[in-house]
Chain A
Amino acid sequence: MIKDNKTYQVLLIEDNPGDVLLIEEYIKEYIRNPAIVHFDNFEQARDLLSEGKHQLDIILLDLTLPNMQGEELIQAMLTIAGDVPVLVLTGFADMAFSIKSLELGVADYLLKDDLTGFSLYKAIIHNITRKKFIRELQQSEKRYNALFHHSPQPMWVYDMETLKFLDVNIAAEYQYGYSREEFMSLTLKDIRPDSEVPILQNAVEGIKAEQIGYSSGNYFHKKKNGDIFPVEIHGNNIDYGINPCRIITANDLTDIHKKTEAIKEQNKRLQDIAWTQSHLVRAPLSRMMGLMDLLDYEGVSESEKDFCLKELRKSAYELDEIVHKIVKKSESIQFDEAYEQGNPDH
């Protein structure tokens, strides 16, 4: 017979020595090297489990122990068993109680009278695997929940019929200033300035009418304290409630707008300089060129020559002064370095 080679760690709690022997035999029928820990009372089992150092795969529990029995025992066991599945073993063919014990949270219910090596092995493997799947499913759900709730970007889910918030994440609470509880009593209209409410309604109607999936757009939103800020919205359909729902991420654009304003201001100053160059610089320059032309003409009188030279000198100094001013102005253009300073995440 082929035996299972894995080392299963089994805790057996059973006070009847005959049953202990029988069960250990059954286990060994299909598992080559089981690590069986046996106690004949609940208290020792409790001591082992409460240490938290065990690596048990499964607990086999007899329902009639010296100091504790039945429902009370199940409750006590489940509170200390943690993730380890609990298999209940008993001699009573009591269907009503077996169903109740499953509702309480035991993994399975086996009758000692019906037990065979194979049925016990099957129950052990089935319940260990099942517990493992459940654990993985819970972890996965937890992980995806965390992706939403701990996302650094404000996110929420809303009902397209009522516009009510159905879920919001921590970043949204922080960004908008409403607590989760407050959000749950609000609709999308409450985070829009009054003037933007028709825009919101049009957008939602448009999405419904044209059955749009992904969409994005730039809007203005309102915080709890009344502050209005620019925001970039990305949305998509999601199965959540009874009505069609959408999941939204909201990017605060305040910083980007500030940056854009700073760039605009800088551009304006650069344009100023370009204008100055073409107009202010060319004024004395064109005068100088004209004066030099005049000096070249035939028949220019001595007094005219003196005049030209004097004016040439004046214009040259004027030009020099203008160039100095332009240099000064250029030096004053320094991009706001606050924007360049690092955020450790970037």
Chain B
Amino acid sequence: MSKETLIIDDDKIICFLHKKLCERNGIESALIFTEAQEAVNYLKDSDTPGREVLLLLDINMPVMNGWDVLDALKKVELKSRVDVIMVTSSIDDADLTRSKDYEHVRGFVSKPLDLEKLQSISQRDTFLTLL
């Protein structure tokens, strides 16, 4: 069963670029969410055991930000396996440290994503930091 990929970012251009990158990396059907709440709803509604999801999650978003998404995921205890990569324009150490407190988070990567970073994401199992 192939992994689903969700791109969550309020910046439409970033979403477009990241989707293009995913396509180049063999991920044809990455889903784009510019409203984080919609992504959380989607994950809940389509939750099934054994399903694997990769979240490329922005931190600074209006209404519901990246941390809110992580808190929401913690609360709902999905049956799916969700791996989160924080993809952010922030290069704050405080944000990096904070992201390590969440078990879903597997990496902290600064924008913009490129092919190299994306390939590292799909390969690595330990916590990944690419600034």
Contact = CB atoms under 8 A, between A and B. Distances in A.
Interface of A: 278-279, 282-283, 285-287, 289-291, 293-294, 297, 311, 315
Nearest to A292: B112
Contact of A286 (B24, B89, B92): B89
Given A287-B17, A290-B17, A278 B92 contact: yes
B17 A279 contact: no
A287 B60 contact: no
Given A283-B89, A286-B89, A294 B60 contact: no
Contacts of B112: 286-287, 289-290, 293
Interface in B86-114: 89-92, 110-114
Majority secondary structure, A binding face: helix
Interface residues on B, range: 10 to 19
B28 interface: no
A289 B91 CA distance: 15
Contact of B111 (A282, A294, A315): A282
A9 to B, nearest CB: 86
25 contacts: A278-B90, A282-B89, A282-B90, A282-B110, A283-B89, A283-B111, A286-B14, A286-B89, A286-B112, A287-B11, A287-B13, A287-B14, A287-B17, A287-B112, A289-B111, A290-B13, A290-B14, A290-B17, A290-B113, A291-B13, A291-B17, A293-B112, A294-B17, A297-B20, A315-B13
Given A282-B91, A283-B111, A287-B112, 18 more contacts: A278-B90, A279-B89, A282-B89, A282-B111, A283-B11, A283-B60, A285-B89, A286-B111, A286-B112, A287-B13, A287-B17, A289-B112, A290-B13, A290-B17, A290-B111, A290-B112, A291-B13, A294-B20
